Chain A
């Protein structure tokens, strides 16, 4: 086992991990942050998207040790002080959640977009979530929710 220290949702965490652990497994199985989902396991679907130093990455492809000394944000880090993040509220208000499996990844891709571009066009929103698949085919409502959150 190897020691991994990272800032996770704003708090420094040190944990012993296997050298070949992937970030998604450390988050879900060791840290019990099961908000992050794993679906395809090969970086094609975006369900496992988290932010690494503010950038969206598919955590199923990230060796956990790549997070050494860096900042990781998962969907659990979005809400603060008992208040949902504006994106989370907008997803609820616009019915952008069906089965919910893609939602954490969608939220993290949307967060990465709005952090860089607070007022994106619809095209920019669609581009930003182009690496996140929704198999309930609810993209329209997801795009509307992100647009609404960006207008708040």
Chain B
């Protein structure tokens, strides 16, 4: 027996009550694409699964003023196909499109991709570059936290899936002189974890000739999704020229601390590829901001 009860709450309140009833022995399930294999392998034990994928509050992608709200149970497929996301958060649409396979994208959710806390999750990296905030509910109420603060180490989130629920992600939709892009390196085009992935958000000046602000996110180059802050700082206010970009990418490659993985890539290769992937994503983000 992998789990004894499988429950569908009718509301967030009911879901929290179900979790509370089981005192740490219940766990939230959404798409299940990460959780079910873990439970099958007995890497995790639960008594009860609380399926939040049918809750209305967790669904849908909406524009609230300037801010895009993505419900936590929005699937990768829905993100990749959303016109709003493709236009105003391109990197996120591209990242979602890179997850797993078509089947995994139809099942897996953005909330699960975050709570599962892998440092190179393909939606987490663009959401880091978009400076997303997460809305979480627990018995104590609702709170909003920067995405980055949800990460502890690979596979460990501060969101406790046995008592809390990630409800939505929020970030400002890009407009006018802004653009974003996602780049990824993997051994195959489907069903392969990234050797490296990168997301860039670029805000340009009115003339489209200089960077006002750039946000660079990378994975897996640290225990958690990484922002190359020194490189971002190096690009602030700089004209969009080859030399300034090359020197910022050099900085990014130094501040990134990837590890060697016998199945995927060495530390040295990854560090070298930081420059390559960031350059590709930066170029496309700038082109999109200028058009």
**What is the distance, in angstroms, from A1's C-beta to the closest C-beta of chain B?**
12
**What is the distance, in angstroms, from A121's C-beta to the closest C-beta of chain B?**
15
- The stretch among B4-12, B88-96, B248-256, B270-278 that forms the contact with chain A is B4-12
A120 at the interface (CB under 8 A from B): no
Q: Are A131 and B191 in contact (CB under 8 A)?
A: yes
Which of these, A18, A20, A49, A68, contacts B103 with CB under 8 Å?
Answer: A49
Give A68's nearest chain B residue, CB to CB. B8
Interfacial residues of chain A within 93-152, with CB under 8 A of chain B in the complex? 109, 112, 127-128, 130-132
Give B1's nearest chain A residue, CB to CB. A20
Q: How far is it, in angstroms, between the C-alpha of A48 and the C-alpha of B36 when the chains are bound?
A: 15
B237 at the interface (CB under 8 A from A): no
Q: Are B106 and A19 in contact (CB under 8 A)?
A: no
Q: Which residues of A contact B3 (CB under 8 A)?
A: 19-20
Q: Are A56 and B106 in contact (CB under 8 A)?
A: yes
Q: Are B37 and A66 in contact (CB under 8 A)?
A: no
Q: How far is it, in angstroms, between the C-alpha of A128 and the C-alpha of B101 when the chains are bound?
A: 8
* A side interface size, CB within 8 A: 28
**What is the distance, in angstroms, from A45's C-beta to the closest C-beta of chain B?**
9
Q: Are A46 and B5 in contact (CB under 8 A)?
A: no
Q: Are B101 and A63 in contact (CB under 8 A)?
A: no
Q: Which residues of B contact A22 (CB under 8 A)?
A: 36
Q: Are B101 and A46 in contact (CB under 8 A)?
A: yes
Q: Which residues of B contact A127 (CB under 8 A)?
A: 102
A131-B104 CB under 8 A given contacts A42-B40, A61-B32: yes
Q: How far is it, in angstroms, between the C-alpha of A65 and the C-alpha of B37 when the chains are bound?
A: 16
> Interface code B187-217, partner A: CB below 8 Å = 1, 0 otherwise?
0011100000000000000000000000000
Q: Are A63 and B32 in contact (CB under 8 A)?
A: yes
A74 at the interface (CB under 8 A from B): no
Q: Which residues of B contact A131 (CB under 8 A)?
A: 100-104, 190-191
Q: Which residues of B contact A68 (CB under 8 A)?
A: 8
Give B189's nearest chain A residue, CB to CB. A130
Which of these, A41, A49, A66, contacts B32 with CB under 8 Å?
Answer: A66
Q: Are A56 and B40 in contact (CB under 8 A)?
A: no
Q: Which residues of B contact A19 (CB under 8 A)?
A: 3-6
A27 at the interface (CB under 8 A from B): no
Q: How far is it, in angstroms, between the C-alpha of A63 and the C-alpha of B1 when the chains are bound?
A: 13
Q: Are B100 and A62 in contact (CB under 8 A)?
A: no
Q: Are A20 and B2 in contact (CB under 8 A)?
A: yes
Q: Which residues of A contact B101 (CB under 8 A)?
A: 43, 46, 130-132
Q: How far is it, in angstroms, between the C-alpha of A66 and the C-alpha of B52 when the chains are bound?
A: 11
**What is the distance, in angstroms, from B150's C-beta to the closest C-beta of chain A?**
24
B26 at the interface (CB under 8 A from A): no
Q: How far is it, in angstroms, between the C-alpha of A88 and the C-alpha of B101 when the chains are bound?
A: 23
Give B191's nearest chain A residue, CB to CB. A44
A73 at the interface (CB under 8 A from B): no
A57 at the interface (CB under 8 A from B): yes
Q: Are B2 and A62 in contact (CB under 8 A)?
A: no
Q: Which residues of A contact B8 (CB under 8 A)?
A: 65, 68
A20-B107 CB under 8 A given contacts A42-B40, A43-B37: no
A2 at the interface (CB under 8 A from B): yes
Q: How far is it, in angstroms, between the C-alpha of A65 and the C-alpha of B5 when the chains are bound?
A: 10
Q: Which residues of B contact A57 (CB under 8 A)?
A: 103, 106-107
Which residues from chain B sit less than 8 Å from chain A, CB to CB?
A: 1-6, 8, 29, 32-33, 36-37, 40, 49, 51, 53, 77, 100-104, 106-107, 189-191
The 7 A-B residue pairs whose C-beta atoms are closest, nearest first, are: A131-B101, A130-B190, A20-B2, A55-B106, A65-B6, A131-B103, A42-B37
Which residues from chain A sit less than 8 Å from chain B, CB to CB?
A: 2, 18-20, 22, 41-44, 46, 49, 55-58, 61-63, 65-66, 68, 109, 112, 127-128, 130-132
Further pairs besides A56-B103, A61-B33, A132-B101: 5, Cβ < 8 Å: A19-B5, A20-B2, A20-B4, A61-B32, A65-B51
